[in-house]
């Protein structure tokens, strides 16, 4: 079974959202996981904004990159420059994508304003995962 890994700094928001969308859009044909170069804990606003689109990530946990899993992946997607720069070296057989997205956890202001940033990042991730799923289904 092919494997895909979504990586960001703390595995708290972006990579968790990408994992949620990929599980839905790629289905059972793919093993999907996410991780970070650090552990920051699952952000409750990521859980809330994903629930708004019908995807439950509330049981996800923040994890460090598993090098053994990484080396078995067909695809690795980094969602920030930090993950791209700090990701361990992968075998040449791994296809890498980089989606530089702002960290919604850094958003400031009232909860409404912060939620809006999470929604914008979530929607961009959904678009990216949808495009990737379409590309994979054509191959």
- Does 73 participate in catalysis according to the annotation? no
Of 47, 75, 80, 132, which residue is the catalytic one?
80
Helix (H, G, I), strand (E, B) or coil at 97: strand
For residues 56, 61, 64 and 65, what is the CA-based torsion angle, rounded to 10 degrees? -30
Of 4, 7, 8, 70, which residue is the catalytic one?
8
Distance CA 31, CA 3 (A): 5
- Does 13 participate in catalysis according to the annotation? no
Of 25, 46, 50, 87, which residue is the catalytic one?
87
Q: Cα-atom radius of gyration of the chain, to the nearest Å?
A: 14
Per the CB < 8 A criterion, the answer to whether 13 and 20 are in contact is no
- Does 87 participate in catalysis according to the annotation? yes
Catalytic positions: 8, 80, 87
């Amino acid at each position: 079974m092919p494997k895909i890994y979504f990586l960001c700094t703390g595995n708290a928001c972006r990579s968790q959202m990408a994992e949620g969308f990929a599980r839905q859009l790629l289905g059972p044909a793919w093993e999907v996981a996410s991780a970070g170069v650090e552990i920051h804990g699952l952000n409750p606003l990521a859980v809330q904004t994903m629930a708004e689109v019908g995807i439950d990530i509330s049981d996800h946990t923040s994890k460090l990159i598993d090098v053994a899993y990484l080396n078995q992946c067909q695809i690795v997607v980094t969602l920030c420059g930090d993950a791209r720069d700090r990701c361990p070296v992968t075998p040449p057989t791994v296809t890498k994508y980089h989606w530089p997205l702002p960290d919604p956890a850094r958003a400031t202001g009232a909860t409404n304003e912060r939620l809006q940033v999470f929604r914008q990042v979530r929607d961009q991730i959904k678009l990216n995962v949808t495009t990737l799923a379409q590309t994979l289904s054509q191959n």
